[in-house]
């Protein structure tokens, strides 16, 4: 039985096969969840990221988790919100989908996402949350080795948006 849940918490504390990092295209660290993941994982994470030569928006690359409780980190740069007419929705969907595909390719059964692009990148939560939950739900409905997906929200307001989007998705299907 596959599971999908939405929780409040700190992604750096989560024990899972893979956690996802809302990175930037350099993959060389930054603020927000990216900074927290690099601090918790230790300097070896940055060393491995340096060898990856960056990552395009909406794509994903994988590293080990080092000092994190998670075995792997999947790094994906989400889109920067520029008003909504610059393929932001498609790019955000790609970030979730390519992270899930990479988890699958690395036989990760459990994967945990932060709220990609809704911090420094200013993607509106009311638009980002439905994209995230729909993409994850659709992926889990296919035959996949991924068994458990969790969204970890860092604050109550963010969690409310994801809970609402999940409720709306369930009421439609
Ligand atoms: N655990 C879970 N969620 C967190 C944590 C944490 N420890 N810390 C922050 N968040 P952001 P973005 C939430 O800004 O919008 C970086 O500098 C946060 O509250 O981290 O994709 C990168 O290097 C928000 O809900 O990511 C990029 O340059 C969510 O994570 C840029 O920011 C995403 O906020 C990416 O911006």
85 C-alpha vs ligand 1 centroid, how far in Å? 22
* ipTM tops the 0.95 cut: yes
41 C-alpha vs ligand 1 centroid, how far in Å? 16
* pLDDT of 160 higher than 80: yes
**Fold that domain 3-172 belongs to in CATH:** 3.40.220
Q: What is the pLDDT of residues 25-47, one digit of tens each?
A: 999 999 999 999 999 999 999 99
Ligand 1, atom nearest to 152 Cα: 2
Taking residues 93-120, what's their average pLDDT? Answer: 98
Task: Report the predicted TM-score, pTM, of the whole model to 2 decimal places.
Answer: 0.98
d(CA 100, CA 81): 22
**SS3 letters across the chain:** CCEEEEEECCHHHCCCCEEEEEECCCCCCCCHHHHHHHHHHCHHHHHHHHCCCCCCCCCCEEEECCCCCCCEEEEEECCCCCCCCCCHHHHHHHHHHHHHHHHHHCCCCEEEECCCCCCCCCCCHHHHHHHHHHHHHHHHHCCCCCCEEEEEECCHHHHHHHHHHHHHHHHHC
Structure tokens at 44: 């070896």
Per the annotation, the verdict on 163 as an active-site residue is no
**High-pLDDT (> 70) share of the chain, %:** 99
> Catalytic: which of 17, 34, 90, 155?
34
Cα 119 from chain centroid?
A: 13
Structure tokens at 134: 């729909």
Write the residue with the smallest CA distance to atom 21 of ligand 1.
117
């Amino acid at each position: 039985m596959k599971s999908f849940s939405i929780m409040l918490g700190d992604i750096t504390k989560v024990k899972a096969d893979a956690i996802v990092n809302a990175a930037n295209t350099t993959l060389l660290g930054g603020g927000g969840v990216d900074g927290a993941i690099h601090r918790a994982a230790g300097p070896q994470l940055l060393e491995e990221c340096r060898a990856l030569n960056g990552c395009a928006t909406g794509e994903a690359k994988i590293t080990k988790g080092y000092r994190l409780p998670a075995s792997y980190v999947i790094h994906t740069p989400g889109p920067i919100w520029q008003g909504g007419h610059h393929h932001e929705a498609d790019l955000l969907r790609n970030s979730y989908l390519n992270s899930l595909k990479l988890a699958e390719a690395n036989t990760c059964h459990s994967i945990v996402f932060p709220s990609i692009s809704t911090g420094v990148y200013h993607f509106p939560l009311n638009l980002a949350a439905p994209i995230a939950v729909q993409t994850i739900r659709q992926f889990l409905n296919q035959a996949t080795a991924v068994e458990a997906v969790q969204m970890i929200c860092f604050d109550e307001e963010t969690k409310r948006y994801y809970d609402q989007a999940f409720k709306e998705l369930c009421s439609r299907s």
